[in-house]
Amino acid sequence: MFCIVLKDAEEARRLMFRRNLSNLLILFGSTPFVFFSILSIFSLNNFLNYNIIYLASLYILTIVSFICGTHWGIFLSSKKITINLFIISNLLTLLVYFGFLILSSFAFILLSMLIFIVLLFVDFFIFKNDMILLNYLKVRFYVSLIVLISLFVLLFNSF
């Protein structure tokens, strides 16, 4: 009996570590956005000889693709979700990519802010379909808020 309880406690500890690690990694994902916004506050427009708007834009492409990829994985493993996350994630990824290529930097950052909001609504929808935990949704909400504020600060100070 004691061995079973010990095994269950170890399993719970591993699960808790995995959840805390994923939350920490999600939070760390917002670090470049905060960093670039701080640079913009101090009117430092370049970092490593690259324009910070350009660097932030590249990171936006990466993060949007990553979040859309997680939605693919959730959709693949679910029969409950009634919207097609394949189409939504592809449309959002292509929209941010072509926005990067075609739009001015200012318009691209605004578009990206809108896409981050849409991605958060998609996560809320996924949560309502019992596919993600409330804890994950809360972390995504707070990190999205950090990212949106950082992008707003970057816009305000760079243009």
b/e map 80-102, b = 16+ CB within 10 Å: ebeeebeebbeebbebbeebbee
pTM of the model: 0.87
Burial of 32 per CB tally in 10 Å (0-12, 13-18, 19+) = buried
Number of separate domains in the chain: 1
pLDDT tens digits for 74-128? 888 887 887 888 999 999 999 999 999 999 999 999 999 999 999 999 999 999 9
Task: Dump pLDDT digits (tens) for 23-65.
Answer: 888 999 999 999 999 999 999 999 999 999 999 999 999 999 9
- The parent domain of residue 10 ranges over 2-158
